[in-house]
Chain A
Amino acid sequence: MPNITNDEVDVVIVGLGWAGSIMAIELAQAGLKVRALERGPDRPPEDFAYPKPADQYAYAIRNKVFATPRDAALTVRYNTGETALPTRKWGAFAPGTGVGGSGLHWTGVLIRPTPTDIKLKTYADQAYPRGRLDPDMRVKDFPFTWDEIEPFFDKFDKICGLSGNTGNLKGVIQPGGDPFEGPRSSPYPLPALHDTYNSSLFAATAKRMGYHPFPNPSANASTAWTNPYGSQLAPCNYCGYCSKYPCLNYSKASPQTAILDVVKRMPNFDYKVNAMVIRVDLHADKKTAKGVTYIDEQQREVFQPAKIVILSSFQFANVRLMLLSGIGKPYDPITETGTIGRNYAFLSNGAATLFFKDKHFNSFATAGATGEMFNDISPGNFQDGIKLGFLGGAKIHSSQASGAPIGTALPPGTPGWGQGWKEGMVDWYDCSMKIGITTTCMSYRGHFLDLDPTYKDPWGQPLLRMTFDWRQNELKLQRYLREIVGNIAKEMKPDFMSESFLGLDSHWDITKYVSTHNVGGAIMGDSPRDSALNRYLQSWDVHNVFVPGGNAFPQNFQANPTATIGAITLFAAEAIKNHYLKNPGPLVQV
């Protein structure tokens, strides 16, 4: 038994990133006593005063504000016949830790999925002839309509000071924005960031070729902004230290800059750091939770009683805590029964790097989200995928998150060391740009999360095990996108070019960074038979546990996940305030 018991609270929040901070302010403003437990350290804004974040080695190479694999590794295998191995170093993804979570060091691309993306199963059933797609594919619709969720996207856009061009205002297409976006109830709060040289070259070329480019929707504020909670964001100064860095200028929306400065002043909110939650404690009937148990800074086991438990850690940690606590039934890929762990999905990327001997990109003068993208190759916006037998798409973009020099791309054939490498750096630093893809990734019967039988974390608990590999659907999509990107790149006439796309026989490479957009594992849906959570992110099994995060996505769309995580969390918070508090119990009856 724990040796310490804290005072009871109305709401305990496990993980103080975006989802936890949204829940904290929404529920504290409703008058509830709220306590957040964060496994990592505090990260107050004074830690990010200029010039501290302008340090590529500490932040981007040594991952200063990330979780360490030592504390937060998981294991990986391609299929159930293999023994999974630990992610001993981060590679393909790197989750954050500490106050702010991944929301502190994200790039700030804040883009919504399209109405087709949130009803992907319905679209696939209508658009694709029977038998055209992989029979193991398990895509699903999100359990809400566009009109139901749009006000919450709108609210999160305003919390973040979204900068960009409006594409579709109440059904009317606007010049300069994304003509494929779903109807917005109000325009972007702020104008677009300024284009860097690479983005303007890319946008002009893509437009000439018939695509519809628009500035990356950005949570790096283009001008001053006061958000609905009263937090103020400053105009971005294009410092060049954004993705993987905390913002030195109060310009990137983060839990710190957008929410925590406000909620920390409320007397009915507090938070504890270096508090590692090891389980949710359930009542004997397993229908409700009593609270959570954590290990505190002094290595003591502490019980935190609470009426409502919010699991708002990173996607992996949420799924793992549900499995460790016996919330719901673990997924079995053979019988396809159980719900915890199913529908895990990732994403792929790829790029052409274009080298121009006479151009200067000033790649260090940039905001994290700077760039231009187009959505012409997203589900429902093009037809070739139906013919070629794959479901999905990508945003195709030229972004420029940083110009910091470690890892600079050099033209093909440049030596990796010696005089050739050194002179390559002198000749080619700042002379290249990229055209990249951020893809969809479908969910499959055999891709799932469970507990590893062998490897343990430093607290003696099993690591989460991931079973995942590329499927032909995703590799065919890559091959298709490679051609589109290649055609645009050739049109831009670089002196040299290199590319990184997946071949049809590729396995997932855990060493190459893609993005930390891991989704699924505890998904939202219409039925407790095949989803862990209802539309309000409430556990079907334990009704006072809510699980906001990327874990709720039934598959991955081409849009970056943060906008949707924000929207579904606000949607859930609204349901807790308006319905659950009056009548605690399942919010959806089946």
Chain B
Amino acid sequence: MATAAAVPLVSAPVYRARAQGLEGVDLQRYQPVFFTEPEWVFLLAACDRLIPAEGRGPGALETNVPVFIDQQLKNGLGDDVYMQGPHQADAPATMGFQHTHSPQDMYRIGIKLAQQYSQTTYGKPFQQLAAADKDALLTKLQKNDIDFAALGDPSLKASQFFGQMLGDAKNGYLADPMYGGNKDMKAWVAIGFPGARAAFTEWVDTHNVKYPLGPVSLSGKRA
């Protein structure tokens, strides 16, 4: 017989993590709400390589991607996942997410072990590496060439941490600015996405002509 004891019946809204009042904040002045100061330094350096400043289009730091990630982690990212055990962490990849770690855990563990690897291998922390070395380390995380088990945590793979961080960085780069990233809609301007305009009756029949207007955000700003 099922009992109703202490079960949250109504799902917590998983999308509530909008960075209220943080749209367009100055990254240098931003105080992280989830990450510790040493973790934040790693995250800034990693985002700066995942979506770098060089080349065409804005980079992750120019668009406040780390703010987005910090806010999401503080505000329920992962709350919707089914976490009851038993867990079979060695399940085939086609069975999807099966390990025990929340996104918050993955960042905490992943950053610690990546820094440990950087210190051991290069003699300095990740944020002090040359760009090429940073890229090499991130690639090793992506390909599981850094063995988290050997560094002390067999329950998480380096690629799982990397995948979470990369997915979150891209989401922050391309989501509406109200979540804290995509500052001033710069990513949308760069690719030509009109954001929340959401009315194209007059345009649908105009084929193969680049849309002329810039984006609008959910808060009504234009760029």
Contact of A238 with B200 in the complex, beta carbons under 8 Å: yes
- Find residues 70-118 in chain B having any chain A CB closer than 8 Å to their own CB: 79-84, 86, 88, 91-98
Contact of A508 with B193 in the complex, beta carbons under 8 Å: no
Contact of A56 with B175 in the complex, beta carbons under 8 Å: yes
Can you name the residue of chain B whose Cβ is closest to the Cβ of A508?
B94
Contact of A238 with B204 in the complex, beta carbons under 8 Å: yes
Q: A197, A360, A422: which contacts B55 (Cβ < 8 A)?
A: A422
| Residue A62, interface by CB 8 Å | yes
Contact of B211 with A459 in the complex, beta carbons under 8 Å: no
A307 to B39, CA, bound (A): 60
- Find residues 161-179 in chain B having any chain A CB closer than 8 Å to their own CB: 166, 169-171, 174-176, 179
Contacts of A237 in B (CB 8 A): 198-201
Q: Chain A interface: which of B6-14, B26-34, B122-130, B150-158? A: B6-14
Give the Cβ gap from A449 to chain B, nearest Cβ, in Å.
Answer: 17
| Residue B52, interface by CB 8 Å | yes
| Residue A430, interface by CB 8 Å | yes
Contact of B204 with A54 in the complex, beta carbons under 8 Å: no
Contacts of B194 in A (CB 8 A): 364
Contacts of A69 in B (CB 8 A): 80-82
Give the Cβ gap from A453 to chain B, nearest Cβ, in Å.
Answer: 12
What number of residue pairs across chains A and B have CB atoms under 8 A from each other? 221
Contact of B10 with A297 in the complex, beta carbons under 8 Å: yes
- Find residues 71-127 in chain A having any chain B CB closer than 8 Å to their own CB: 71, 73, 76, 83, 85-89, 91, 97
Q: Mark B132-143, 1 if CB is under 8 A from A, else 0.
A: 000100100010
Give the Cβ gap from A56 to chain B, nearest Cβ, in Å.
Answer: 7
Contact of B166 with A422 in the complex, beta carbons under 8 Å: no
Give the Cβ gap from B194 to chain A, nearest Cβ, in Å.
Answer: 6
- The contact size tier of chain B is 35 or more
Contact of B14 with A63 in the complex, beta carbons under 8 Å: yes
Q: B8, B15, B92: which contacts A57 (Cβ < 8 A)?
A: B15
Contact of A73 with B82 in the complex, beta carbons under 8 Å: yes
A83 to B175, CA, bound (A): 38
- Find residues 54-74 in chain A having any chain B CB closer than 8 Å to their own CB: 54-59, 61-64, 67-71, 73
Contact of B15 with A58 in the complex, beta carbons under 8 Å: yes
**Most chain A beta carbons < 10 A, residue from B4, B8, B176:** B4
Contact of B57 with A64 in the complex, beta carbons under 8 Å: no
Q: B11, B52, B94, B201: which contacts A235 (Cβ < 8 A)?
A: B201
Contact of B84 with A510 in the complex, beta carbons under 8 Å: no
Contacts of A235 in B (CB 8 A): 201
Contacts of B14 in A (CB 8 A): 62-64, 68
| Residue A507, interface by CB 8 Å | yes
Can you name the residue of chain B whose Cβ is closest to the Cβ of A73?
B82
| Residue A496, interface by CB 8 Å | no
- Find residues 525-555 in chain A having any chain B CB closer than 8 Å to their own CB: none
Contact of B198 with A54 in the complex, beta carbons under 8 Å: yes
- Find residues 224-250 in chain A having any chain B CB closer than 8 Å to their own CB: 235, 237-241, 248
Q: Mark A383-418, 1 if CB is under 8 A from B, else 0.
A: 000000000000000000001111010000000111
Contact of B175 with A57 in the complex, beta carbons under 8 Å: yes
Contact of B196 with A54 in the complex, beta carbons under 8 Å: yes
**Most chain B beta carbons < 10 A, residue from A76, A405, A461:** A405
| Residue A429, interface by CB 8 Å | yes
Contact of A89 with B97 in the complex, beta carbons under 8 Å: yes
| Residue A426, interface by CB 8 Å | yes
A301 to B1, CA, bound (A): 11
A20 to B86, CA, bound (A): 35
Q: B7, B93, B95, B200: which contacts A76 (Cβ < 8 A)?
A: B95
Contact of B82 with A41 in the complex, beta carbons under 8 Å: no
A54 in contact with B80 given A200-B207, A418-B52, A458-B7 (CB within 8 Å): no
Contacts of B175 in A (CB 8 A): 56-57, 61, 406
A50 to B197, CA, bound (A): 10
Contact of A70 with B200 in the complex, beta carbons under 8 Å: no
Contacts of B193 in A (CB 8 A): 364, 403-405, 429-430
Give the Cβ gap from A359 to chain B, nearest Cβ, in Å.
Answer: 6
Contacts of A430 in B (CB 8 A): 191-193
Q: Mark A290-322, 1 if CB is under 8 A from B, else 0.
A: 000001110111000000000000000000000
Contact of A360 with B218 in the complex, beta carbons under 8 Å: no
Give the Cβ gap from A91 to chain B, nearest Cβ, in Å.
Answer: 5
Contacts of B8 in A (CB 8 A): 458
Can you name the residue of chain B whose Cβ is closest to the Cβ of A236?
B201
**Most chain A beta carbons < 10 A, residue from B56, B95, B169, B193:** B95
| Residue A196, interface by CB 8 Å | yes
Contact of B191 with A510 in the complex, beta carbons under 8 Å: no
A296 to B7, CA, bound (A): 11
A58 to B91, CA, bound (A): 29
Ordered nearest first, which 5 A-B pairs have the shortest CB separation?
A365-B200, A57-B175, A54-B196, A68-B80, A429-B191
A–B complex contacts, Cβ < 8 Å, 24 sampled:
A53-B198, A57-B175, A70-B82, A86-B82, A88-B96, A88-B97, A194-B205, A197-B207, A296-B9, A299-B4, A299-B7, A299-B9, A301-B3, A361-B208, A364-B197, A405-B193, A422-B52, A426-B56, A426-B57, A426-B190, A430-B191, A454-B86, A459-B4, A510-B96
Question: Apart from A85-B95, A406-B174, A507-B92, what 9 extra A-B contacts exist at CB < 8 Å?
Answer: A71-B11, A88-B98, A364-B194, A365-B203, A366-B204, A404-B193, A408-B191, A417-B166, A456-B84
